């Protein structure tokens, strides 16, 4: 039999085809039993997600109501200065959406993460600590408000991971990670470039940093609960 050029091409394509097919099949066979085992827990989490979203919506609506009430009731009374102070405190505590100049940072996993061996995937993905340290650098650069994927970072916020998920205020984020900050854009950029961001850049992560005239940061949707901490009783 005479070997023609296209014979070789077809052979190569078929081989690739087979390899991909089996690896696909393998991935499915590998995961399905696990998925079944976890089904109950996954359902529990989905219910929790839903209930939390409902509570956050309720909190938002009551906060708005209280705001309207208070503003109306204190207007032109001796309580007006106290209400004005409260408005400012809410602003400082991250309970108000804010806008201003700043920076927008985007962090993505490396393409290699999709093909790397399981033992090496860690080198190619963004970790929660990357975000935690960049948030720290932004604060060092004088950031006045910060959010990650729309989740406001406040004083008591935690940035962690659970499995492959990065969480902020315990809300699971999906990549790419977009960190927004309001402050002096030059100072923010300098502070961020002096730290973790540059390490990621040097390690060939597809990261971007852009200065912007106007960055919008949503309000904190969660709770402040103080059951143990209280101001000292006598004198301040």
Partner 1 sequence: MFKKKWQLTLTIAFLCLGLLFSLQFRTHQAMDNNLNFQSNETLAAISRDLNTKYYQLIQEVWDLRTQLKLLEQSNDKNKLLMEALKREQQKLNIATGLVPVEGPGLVITIPEDNQNYLGYQDIIDIVNELWNANAEAISVNGIRVTGATSFLPSGELSTILMDGRELSYPYVIKAIGEPSNLEKGISIPKGVIDLLRNLYKIPLEITQADKISLPSASAPNPKYSYPVAAKADEKPAASETPQL
Is 123 an interacting residue with respect to partner 1 (CB under 8 A)? no
Question: How many residues line the site for partner 1 (CB under 8 A)?
Answer: 114
Residues between 40 and 99 with contacts to partner 1, criterion CB under 8 A: 41-42, 44-46, 48-49, 51-52, 55-56, 58-59, 62-63, 65-66, 69-70, 73-74, 77-79, 82-83, 85-86, 89-99
Work out which of 1, 3, 29, 34 binds partner 1, going by CB under 8 A: 34
Place of tokens 């102070």: 85
Least distance from partner 1 to the Cβ atom of residue 99, Å:
5
User: Which 177-196 residues touch partner 1, going by CB under 8 A?
Assistant: 182-186, 195
Euclidean distance between CA atoms 183 and 189, whole angstroms? 10
Q: Report the nearest approach of partner 1 to the CB of residue 204 (Å).
A: 19
**Which C-beta is closer to partner 1: that of 140 or that of 201?**
140
Q: Which one of 150, 167, 176, 198 is in contact with partner 1 (CB under 8 A)?
A: 167
Give the position of tokens 């009731």. Answer: 73
Pick 50 or 204: Cβ nearer partner 1: 50
The DSSP result for 113-163, as a single string, is GGTS-TTTGGGTS--HHHHHHHHHHHHHTT-SEEEETTEEE-TT--EEEET
Among 110, 147, 157, 180, binds partner 1 (CB under 8 A): 157
Q: What's the burial of 116, exposed, middle or buried (CB within 10 Å: 0-12/13-18/19+)? A: middle
Write out the H or E segment, with its range, that includes residue 104.
Answer: strand 98-107
Helix, strand or coil, per DSSP, at residue 142: coil
> What is the distance between the alpha carbons of residues 165 and 205, in angstroms, rounded to a whole number?
18
- Report, in Å, the least distance between residue 206 CB and partner 1: 16
């Amino acid at each position: 039999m005479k070997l023609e050029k296209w014979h070789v091409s077809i052979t190569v394509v078929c081989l690739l085809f087979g390899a991909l097919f089996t690896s696909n099949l393998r991935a499915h066979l590998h995961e399905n039993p696990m998925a079944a085992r976890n089904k109950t827990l996954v359902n529990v989490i989905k219910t929790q997600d839903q209930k939390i979203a409902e509570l956050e919506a309720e909190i938002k609506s009551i906060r708005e109501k209280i705001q309207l009430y208070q503003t109306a009731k204190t207007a032109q009374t001796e309580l007006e200065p106290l209400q004005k102070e409260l408005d400012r405190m809410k602003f400082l505590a991250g309970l108000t959406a804010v806008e201003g100049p700043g920076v927008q940072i985007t962090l993505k996993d490396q393409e290699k993460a999709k093909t790397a061996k399981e033992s090496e995937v860690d080198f190619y993905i963004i970790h929660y600590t990357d975000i935690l340290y960049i948030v720290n650098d932004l604060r060092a650069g004088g950031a006045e408000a910060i959010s990650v994927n729309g989740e406001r970072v406040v004083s008591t916020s935690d940035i962690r991971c659970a499995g492959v998920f990065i969480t902020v205020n315990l809300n699971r984020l999906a990549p790419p990670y977009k960190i927004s900050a309001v402050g002096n854009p030059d100072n923010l950029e300098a502070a961020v470039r002096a730290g973790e961001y540059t390490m990621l850049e040097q390690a060939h992560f597809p990261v971007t940093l852009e200065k912007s005239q106007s960055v919008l940061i949503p309000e904190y949707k969660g709770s402040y609960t103080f059951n143990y901490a209280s101001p000292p009783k006598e004198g301040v």
